[in-house]
Amino acid sequence: MTDSVGGEDVNKRLFDHFAAEMKRKFKNTAWRIDCYKDARIRLLNACEDAKHKLSTETEAAVQLDKLFNMIDFKATINRSFFDGLCFDVFQKAVTLVERALCEARVDCTRKTMESIEENKRKRKLEEQEEQKVYKQCKKTFNWLERNDMRKTEDLQHRLEEAKELNRSFSGGTGS
């Protein structure tokens, strides 16, 4: 077994899948992809196109007109089936990347990666909360500057807004 993995492995897996589907569809025809060099090349190209499409979309169609003996072939594959079909290839790629990172002495386990992603999400939320607090404080200070005649109930309302914002930002009960 080789220690390399790449797009060619995925293309081959898709090719084998569609070749088997052709065999099912054209069972009454003497169908062997090996016998039709042009058909093989066209199917390989269509598989590569489908792979690229599935990297951004949920479904890809393979349509080849007059593939062999004036017979057209059309099939679709969805992303979840594709992921299952190529699962072992993807796992092999992940394992090779993890091994390379380990050899390079980079701590990049899945747990570390998940932790990094979680911290990124938290920082994004914290930034959004900071912006929210800043806007609310600015709004309150602007209101105070505009209103010389500060009514007690208005001040009380602004104080409650600030406390609620503090509670939501700190994640606690506030004071």
**Domain harbouring 47, CATH code:** 3.90.640.10
* 165 part of a folded domain: yes
Q: Which residue has the higher pLDDT, 131 or 175?
A: 131
User: So what's the pLDDT on residue 175?
Assistant: 44
Q: Are residues 151 and 89 in the same domain?
A: no
What's the rounded mean pLDDT across residues 105-120? Answer: 68
| Residue 81: inside a domain | yes
Task: Categorise residue 174: left if φ over 0, alpha if ψ from -120 to 50, beta otherwise.
Answer: left
Q: What does pTM read for this prediction?
A: 0.55
60 and 123 inside one domain: no
Domain enclosing residue 136, as ranges = 110-170
The two three-digit tokens of residue 8, written as one number? 């060619």
Structural domain total, the chain:
2
Q: What is the DSSP string of 139-171?
A: HHHHHHHH-SS--HHHHHHHHHHHHHHHHHHHS
Choose between 60 and 128: higher pLDDT.
60
Please tell me the distance from the alpha carbon of residue 79 to that of residue 124, in angstroms, as a whole number.
29
Instruction: Please say whether the beta carbons of 63 and 74 come within 8 A.
Output: yes
